[in-house]
Amino acid sequence: MDLDLDPATLGFQAEVRSWLAAHVPSELPSLDTADGFEAHRAWERTLFDERLSVVSWPAEYGGRDASLLQWLVFEEEYYAAGAPARVSQNGIFLLAPTLFAHGTPEQCARLLPAMASAEEVWAQAWSEPEAGSDLAAIRASAAKTDGGWLLSGQKTWSSRAAFADRGFGLFRTSGERHRGLTYFMFSLRAPGVTVRPIAQLDGEPGFAEIFLDDVFVPDEDVIGAVDNGWQVAMSTASNERGLSLRSPGRFLATAGRLVRLWQALPDPALRDRVVDAWIGAQAYRLYTFGTVARLAEGGSLGAESSVNKLFWSELDIAMHETALELLGGEGEADGPWLDGYVFSLAGPIYAGTNEIQRNVVAERILGLPR
């Protein structure tokens, strides 16, 4: 693809850069606290009012009809400006692409505007105590009733669930392992839902358990066909692993900070690792540009998204480890590099463990035996 940005994209880049420079808050409380969650929700509303919360979406849902390339440019500018974490990420980056691909026009019109403005923040409710990377082992069930379904069971490690408004996930509607799953959306405030926050090492509830006891969900909150949830979920997983959840802007910003740290604390022994980190971030950017070009020509995300997930999760750890070594003992004190390092360690686990991703690469891309 042509890596020279066209005039329209350059103009969009300049507009975004200028607006972020004038509006990015200096600091917000942690989004894993009640006050911080609402502060981040308010920031999302500020983005929405400027039509910057979901730039690549159709205008009718709050977007700008921007191209995927312009979305990548926005992400680069967003992270370069040090803007806050996206409290709406589960909805706008994971559920929304699934709705665009598998949802009905009614579902899109009803759900996407509130998602874009953060009026409704979504929790991802996939994992269960006995079904993590082996998602097909899900036991939480959905039983048909008049006008809808009754959901029962337990979800765990549900990101954003402690303070979110709604959730989405897979539930078993028949006995078949893969073919018996259906994709549901549900309110976290509905009768029969109990949300139990999970405290992290810092005491903040970044995740929660969700218990459902005959929770009614209307038929219009099923995405795709009944018993076809596995196929629908794979589009969500592809976006989580391969494009939207971890855009290149995030790693370009981290690599830039690492280079500046090395310039302030030069250590010849770590020079090559700093250079490798910068090259890795640039390589990921170029790879993602290629993905965007393929999607623009009608392609889709597939098993190759697992390669992407392996790359960015291991790159993230390597960059933060290098930074902590540069800082020496100072790096053991609380600070952005230590916080980032602790979070990076989760990268090989969420969005499907890296062990599972290597199996996907081996079997579905390289054609190796199971």
Residues forming the active site? 240
Residue environment code for 229-245, b if the CB has 16+ CB neighbours within 10 A, otherwise e = bbebbbbbbbbbbbbbb
